[in-house]
Amino acid sequence: MLELRNLSVHAGDFKITDISLSTNNSSIHAVLGPSGSGKTVLVETIAGFRKPSGGQILLEGTDITAHAPELRYMAYVPQDLALFPHLTVKENIYFGLTAMGRCSEGLKGNADAIAEALYIKGYFDRNIATLSGGEKQRVALARALATGNKILLLDEPFSGLHPGLRKEFWFLLKELQTRHHLTVIIITHDLEEAFFLGDHISILIGGKVHQSATKEKSRVPRDKTVASFYGIRNIFPCIFSEQNLLVPILNLTLPIPDSCEPRERNGRKADVGVRAEDLIIYDTERMDGILNLSPEVISMPTLHGKIAAFFEKGQSATVIFSPLNSDILLEVEIPYHKVQKLCGKKTTDIAVAIPPDRVFILESQ
């Protein structure tokens, strides 16, 4: 296990503070956050290229905070890949083995096998400058894995690739991680990438970890900062009663989520949120709406109103829903093929059902 305990690092005027994370062996830990949040500073510190101002880095219980990079036995792929332009593909891949004096036939064979798995063995004699972006990415991964180190640190490795190629690399990384039992820490600002790859996800914003949890639990933001980063806009002030949440701005009553902490509730103020893709929108005059409604959906807390606008965006569409007697707008996400069925000619007599188990409470900051 790789563990960070209360790690703090200063980088000029910027600092990350009290970072505590753990990564299980043979798993992928995604560190997710916006640009300028300290993700690169963090991974460079784990790799040994920055000295922390406080805290510890532990590997299998051993404190490696003061160890030089080459003594940490970690493979690191920086954001710019750091390939050597004067070396061939083969020389780049073998570079780590040569530098460490570990050019045994067995390790060379392992490096060749990795290159073959990455479909670049046929490029061994080519110059780096002649490669495409995706090919360079494969060379950088091969070089990192050729040393046989089981911890792989990746800093925004696929950010420069187009969406189709980026997704191809996600599958490839998953395959390599499983095959070689790698422990991977990947830095990313891409939510889809983090949730596709990560077994565990930590949200780093402004130099602080706002939440760190399994993929399943990470879906729910803990505070408004994370909700804003996730792009969740359906957030409303609420008041706790003994059994329910009152949302005056929507004239709506919701059951208190099971995940809510059992502390003093009556009269307490908070914020309640729900993801756009979790809302169920339908035409009240066509009860099949965009799906066959079950009795469970019909019994859910429901808002009635109209469609104010909708925006198509490839495979899905965002519907802007305006509840009756309210100036508030809600976002609802629906699959693209349902757009015409719901938004064709009619925009009134629309309802939005709110699944109680998808509602979450945001902690005060």
pTM: 0.90
pLDDT of the residue at 262:
61
> In this model, does residue 290 exceed pLDDT 60?
no
Percent of the chain with pLDDT over 70: 94
Tell me what the mean pLDDT of segment 283-294 comes to.
Answer: 64
Tell me what the mean pLDDT of segment 205-214 comes to.
Answer: 96
> In this model, does residue 288 exceed pLDDT 60?
no
**Candidates 3.30.420.40, 3.20.20.140, 3.30.565.40, 2.40.50.100; CATH matching 224-365:** 2.40.50.100
pLDDT of the residue at 173:
94
Q: What is the pLDDT of residues 2-29, one digit of tens each?
A: 999 999 999 999 999 999 999 999 999 9
Question: Contact, 276 vs 318, CB < 8 A?
Answer: yes
pLDDT of the residue at 341:
72
- What is the C-alpha separation between 261 and 109, in angstroms, rounded? 55
Length of the chain: 365
Q: What is the pLDDT of residues 225-280, one digit of tens each?
A: 999 999 999 999 999 988 899 999 999 999 988 777 666 567 888 999 999 999 99
C-alpha distances (whole Å) from 119 to each of 40, 114, 321, 338 are 28, 9, 48, 40
pLDDT of the residue at 103:
66
- What is the C-alpha separation between 148 and 110, in angstroms, rounded? 8
> In this model, does residue 126 exceed pLDDT 70?
yes
pLDDT of the residue at 14:
94
CATH 3.40.50.300 spans which residues of the chain?
2-223
pLDDT of the residue at 355:
95
CA 128 to chain centre: 31
pLDDT of the residue at 261:
67
Which among 320, 316, 348 has a CA at the least distance from the CA of 332?
320
User: Using 50, 70 and 90 to split pLDDT, how confident is the model at 343?
Assistant: low
Pairing of strands 302-313, 151-155: unpaired
CATH 2.40.50.100 spans which residues of the chain?
224-365
CATH topology assigned to domain 2-223: Rossmann fold (3.40.50)
User: Using 50, 70 and 90 to split pLDDT, how confident is the model at 313?
Assistant: confident
Which among 247, 259, 161, 255 has a CA at the least distance from the CA of 219?
259
pLDDT of the residue at 226:
97
Question: Contact, 261 vs 268, CB < 8 A?
Answer: no
pLDDT of the residue at 347:
75
> In this model, does residue 169 exceed pLDDT 60?
yes
Long-range contact list for 345-349, CB < 8 A, 24+ apart? 346/283, 347/306, 347/307, 347/308, 348/306, 348/307, 349/283, 349/284, 349/285, 349/304, 349/306
**Window from 51-55, 144-148, 172-176 with minimum mean pLDDT:** 144-148
> In this model, does residue 342 exceed pLDDT 80?
no
Per-chain mean pLDDT for the chain: 90
Percent of the chain with pLDDT over 90: 71
Which of 69-83, 86-100, 336-350 is predicted most confidently? 69-83
Better pLDDT: 321 or 105 = 321
